[in-house]
Amino acid sequence: MPTAGLSINLATVREQWNLREAVEACARHGIRAIDPWREQVAAMGLTEAVRVIGDYGLSVSGYCRGGMFPALDKTARLDAIDDNKRVIDEASALGAACVVLVVGALPPGSRDIHAARQMVAEGISAILPFARSNKMPLAIEPLHPMYAADRACVNTLAQALDLCDDLGDNVGVAIDAYHVWWDPQLEAQIARAGADNRILAYHICDWLVPTHDIRLDRGMMGDGVIDLPKIRSAVENAGYRGYIEVEIFSAHNWWIRPGDEVLRTCIERFATAS
């Protein structure tokens, strides 16, 4: 079955479908796993989301997203910690394999990336006991350095794994090929992540040349320059056996095509270019 092992991160079709429509479409295409976004779940209501995903028997390869820990104001940081606990509760209800953490970056007005990184470490540390008691793994997603200012100040796999070393068990990494493909240390750090049993998720899309938008111009696998089969081999050789999740933010291409065409293309390229 060409969809075996494939998961669709529902950001990929977020402009075409709501959660119910996306779940129905994935099931229709034989896709067996999804990663929903919190906004999509909130729009439907958690209870109904659990029911619909359960009705179709879909696995939930991850839940997007927790994180966003840094803030200059201490109350705001505590609010973020509370909010992340709600994310863990929602992920548990959905039966998600992990919570994906986009950790956050420089608070507005700050130029202190070291302080932001410290706030991230403290934030994850603060929610980790709750995650452990809920048996919900936390997947730190290192984001491409071009998001260091405004999305996530964890920007390499090595940095994420150092953080994991400090934090202990029940925390790992979400490896997204788009964010890490350029890293001269990539293979070594994937091997390290595998040896430490830290790989909780593997996401794919492609890097387009040229890239017209810093956030919303990700490519379909095969349309860009990332050697996806090679990275997949490294991830699998490191012991990862979970779903491979397609996540494409594409405001001017895939988000304006019919959702069924997008899913058909994901399935085809998952087989031929990943």
Residues in contact with a second copy by the rule CB under 8 A: 106, 110-113, 117, 144-146, 148-150, 153, 155-156, 158-159, 181-184, 207, 209-212, 214, 224-227
Q: Which is nearer to a second copy, 16 or 250 (CB)?
A: 250
Place of tokens 């927790």: 66
Least Cβ distance, residue 172 to a second copy (angstroms): 18
Least Cβ distance, residue 48 to a second copy (angstroms): 35
Assess contact for 6 and 33: CB atoms under 8 A: yes
Least Cβ distance, residue 132 to a second copy (angstroms): 26
Q: 3-class DSSP state for residue 197?
A: coil
How far CA 174 is from CA of 2, 113, 270, in Å, comes to 23, 21, 18
Least Cβ distance, residue 192 to a second copy (angstroms): 15
Amino acid sitting at position 199 = I
Question: What are the phi and psi torsion angles at 171 (to 5°)?
Answer: -135, 145
Q: Which is nearer to a second copy, 36 or 224 (CB)?
A: 224
Q: Which is nearer to a second copy, 169 or 227 (CB)?
A: 227
Least Cβ distance, residue 193 to a second copy (angstroms): 16
List, as one string, the DSSP characters of 47-93.
HHHHHHHHHTT-EE--EEEEE----SSHHHHHHHHHHHHHHHHHHHH
Q: Which is nearer to a second copy, 52 or 149 (CB)?
A: 149
Least Cβ distance, residue 60 to a second copy (angstroms): 31
Strand order of the β-sheet with 244-246 is 59-60, 33-35, 6-9, 244-246, 199-204, 171-176, 138-140, 99-102, 63-67
d(CA 232, CA 228): 6
Q: Which is nearer to a second copy, 114 or 135 (CB)?
A: 114
Q: Which is nearer to a second copy, 72 or 158 (CB)?
A: 158
